[in-house]
Amino acid sequence: MKKFKLWLLILLAAGLLGGTYVWFFVYNKPHRNIETASPDYILSAESFYTHYSNKSTPEGENYDGAVLQISGIPTSIETVDSLRIVVFAFTEGVFGDEGIRCTLLPSHHQYLKSIVPGRPVTLKGLCSGYNGTDVILEQCSIINE
């Protein structure tokens, strides 16, 4: 009987531990921290945009959902409500300037003054893909602040 109780306790403890693990590390696992993540790809803003707009991504590389570190010369900085967007424009289309749009992490808004259109900058962010006009990078952080 004692042995049975012991096994029951072990099973309950294992179940509790398993459930706790699933609750915290599977069901409620945190979002990937893009700011501290190592970049999957490092490249110039221009070649990054050209790969997307020409559908000429090098074989074996997939930028969608990847963390990218890009360097280039920003053309403008937009403020849309609470968003701060660094724009690298390369062409003009129906929707105006087209290029790369990097939405900064709120914690990096304070460094925005270090970004001046026309001066090189390096940013890191999560690539959401190409929407037909722009490549979208989100949760961007300024590397050379």
Partner 1 sequence: MKKLILLFIILTTASQLTMAQRYLTKNGHIKFYSDGPLEKIEAHNNQVNAALDTKTGGFVFKVLMKSFVFEKALMQEHFNENYVESDKFPNATFAGKVTNLQDINFDKPGSYEATVVGKLTIHGVTKDISTQGSFDVKEDHVQGKSVFMIKLADYDISIPGAVTGKIAEEIEITVDTKLESLK
For partner 1, the closer of residues 7 and 95 by Cβ is 95
69 binds partner 1 (CB under 8 A): no
Determine the 3-state secondary structure of 61 from DSSP: coil
4 binds partner 1 (CB under 8 A): no
Closest C-alpha among 68, 140, 78 to residue 107: 140
Question: Which residue from 32, 76, 110, 143 is in contact with partner 1, where contact means CB under 8 A?
Answer: 32
Distance CA 90, CA 97 (A): 7
33 binds partner 1 (CB under 8 A): no
Say if residues 46 and 64 touch (Cβ distance below 8 Å): no
**Segment 70 to 129, residues that bind partner 1, using CB under 8 A:** 78, 80-81, 83, 85, 94-96, 101, 103, 128-129
User: Shortest distance, CB of residue 59 to partner 1, whole angstroms?
Assistant: 17
Residue type, 127: C
Say if residues 117 and 72 touch (Cβ distance below 8 Å): no
Question: Which residue from 30, 54, 118, 119 is in contact with partner 1, where contact means CB under 8 A?
Answer: 30
Beta bridge partners of 43: 70
Tokens of 19: 């459930």
**Binding interface with partner 1 (CB under 8 A):** 26-32, 64-65, 78, 80-81, 83, 85, 94-96, 101, 103, 128-134, 136, 138
